[in-house]
Every structure is written in C-alpha cells, then in structure tokens.
Amino acid sequence: MTIKINIEYIESLIELANRHDLAELEVQSDDKKVAIKTALGSAAQTVATFTPAFPAMASAAGLSEDGSAQADSAAGSKDEAKSSKAEAASSPYYQVTSPMVGTFYRSPSPNADAFVEEGQRVSQGHPLCIIEAMKLMNELESDVSGTIKKIYADNGQPVEVGQVLFDIET
C-alpha cells in the first residue's frame, strides 16, 4: 500500500502549531491522519506523526480528501467573528487573541462571577477566560498589566484561532 504524503502541507501544520503555541493539532482525511504535538512555546520539540485513518473519520471530522476543512453551517458565528475582527483591527490597545478553536467562557463555572469585566484592572498572569477545546478547559491569562477596555466574545460563543477576545489598555 502506497500513501502519498504532502510534506509542505505537514510543514505548514507544524508552523501553524508553533506560531499559535498549540500543544496538539490533528488533521484527518480519507486515508491519512496527521498529528502534531509540541511542547508549548518550543519549536525545537515539535513532533509530527502520520498514520492511516479510517475513511469514516474524515467525514466526521469535516475534512475533504486533501485535508482542508469543508464549509460548515456555522456561517452566523463566522460573520460575527469577521465583524469582531474588523472592529478590533482598528484598536489602539493590546489585543488578546484566541490561541485555539473552542468555546469561550467568561467564568470558571456557570454560577461563578466572570474572571474580568470591562473597566477592571488586571495584572500579568491574571485569568481572563476559559476556552474549552475537545472537553479540555484551557485558562487564558493576561500577558500584560492594564485595564480591560473591551470584551469581544460572548459567554458560550465559539471562537477561532487568532480571533480578538479582549482589548487591554497598558
């Protein structure tokens, strides 16, 4: 059995994982599966594995034969993300972006207070939100000290890699 591997595609996935400090990135197509695991923030320790996958997995993952994502029906959330990006692009503040695709949560639990509110002063390392990805809760902390000027995402909203979540005045 011969399996065709697109090295440039795998290299672009590794670059994407490193650029966004992703711990793990996995892509599946009809007969292929590529898993990239990194030590966060360390490009030198990136590992890529390639294994055959079951055809049913590709359609369940929403991938086409070449490994690219197929269009989904979440056009509404994508439109919201685009308008948020357009508004955020002109911001003079430090912008905190989503490091991964997932669901944005403002508080650690449904009944708890939000981590931050607009106008609140935060210090470096202060928790800002949680992004749930594949049933893992990833706490996002502030990289800078300052005042929260704008919160772009709503609680429970899907977010994309690179989507602006917060403006912080430093």
pLDDT in tens, the chain (170 residues): 455 667 777 778 777 777 777 777 777 776 677 777 765 544 444 455 445 444 444 444 444 444 444 444 344 555 555 555 555 567 789 999 999 999 999 999 999 999 999 999 999 999 999 999 988 999 999 999 999 999 999 999 999 999 999 999 99
Identity at 38, one-letter amino acid code: T
* β-bridge mates for residue 150, sequence order: 167
Distance, CA of 80 to CA of 67 (rounded, Å): 26
In degrees, to the nearest 5, what angle opens at C-alpha 21 toward C-alphas 142 and 110?
50
Read off the DSSP letter of residue 72: -
In degrees, to the nearest 5, what angle opens at C-alpha 43 toward C-alphas 38 and 48?
45
